[in-house]
Chain A
Amino acid sequence: EDQVTQSPEALRLQEGESSSLNCSYTVSGLRGLFWYRQDPGKGPEFLFTLYSAGEEKEKERLKATLTKKESFLHITAPKPEDSATYLCAVQESGTSYGKLTFGQGTILTVHP
């Protein structure tokens, strides 16, 4: 049973066309939810950590929000350089620090 599910699998946007990526999770208790960006052939790059429902964090054109069941990564007026795979991961409370479960990612392509 998947603990972390991301949707859509792939998203194609025109430059300037805002949208959202979804990450739903089914852990019994959440210690933290993490968003990463990954460029082809490179290691994931940390974006945000969210700890509790209602929390929001922003960085440039990206805004991450968290509810009790899911997280959204909102992309406002995206640019072609925002094209990447966006990964969501959860750390379940009661597990060891260091244990992390990832979703399969959303491949975002932004066309000029």
Chain B
Amino acid sequence: EAQVTQNPRYLITVTGKKLTVTCSQNMNHEYMSWYRQDPGLGLRQIYYSMNVEVTDKGDVPEGYKVSRKEKRNFPLILESPSPNQTSLYFCASSHSTGKGDTQYFGPGTRLTVL
């Protein structure tokens, strides 16, 4: 089954404790993205990757890091989480059709930073 998986699905942590949220896709897609979703602010793109070792900032990259060492994986790293990073996070992947790329989303990771 074609899918985007994220782990963990739920995470409660404390301020300053480094964490990684993993994302994996089995569709051989070139593009992968991370978003956060907050009430009243909608979905906002954090980082995206166009291929292995190629990443770029989205609209809200501060406080986050990403890496793309393998095509299928795109982990999101919070080096020193803060309470304002409490949010619902989504990973997505897509491939180019030459006209545009349709993104397919994972199930989400609900993060709470105390």
- B interface majority secondary structure: strand
Whether, in the assembled complex, A104 has its beta carbon less than 8 Å from a beta carbon of chain B, the answer is: yes
**In the complex, how many residues of chain B place their beta carbon closer than 8 angstroms to a beta carbon of chain A?**
34
The interface stretch among B13-21, B40-48, B77-85 is B40-48
Known: A49-B100, A51-B100. A98 touches B49 (CB 8 A): yes
List chain B positions with a Cβ less than 8 A from chain A.
4, 30-33, 35, 40-45, 48-50, 56, 58-59, 88, 90, 92, 94, 96, 99-108, 110
In angstroms, Cα B102 to Cα A91, docked, is 10
Residue of A with least CB distance to B93: A98
* Residues of chain A with a CB closer than 8 A to B48's CB: 96, 98-100
Shortest beta-carbon contacts, A-B, top 10: A32-B100, A43-B105, A98-B31, A104-B42, A98-B48, A102-B43, A97-B101, A44-B105, A97-B96, A31-B100
In angstroms, Cα B104 to Cα A42, docked, is 12
* Residues of chain B with a CB closer than 8 A to A102's CB: 35, 42-45
* Residues of chain B with a CB closer than 8 A to A32's CB: 99-102
* Residues of chain A with a CB closer than 8 A to B104's CB: 46
Known: A43-B108, A44-B105. A101 touches B59 (CB 8 A): yes
Residue of A with least CB distance to B43: A102
Is the pair A100, B42 in contact by a Cβ cutoff of 8 Å? no
Whether, in the assembled complex, A23 has its beta carbon less than 8 Å from a beta carbon of chain B, the answer is: no
Nearest Cβ distance between residue A108 and chain B, in whole angstroms? 15
Nearest Cβ distance between residue A104 and chain B, in whole angstroms? 4
In angstroms, Cα B102 to Cα A43, docked, is 14
* Residues of chain B with a CB closer than 8 A to A45's CB: 105
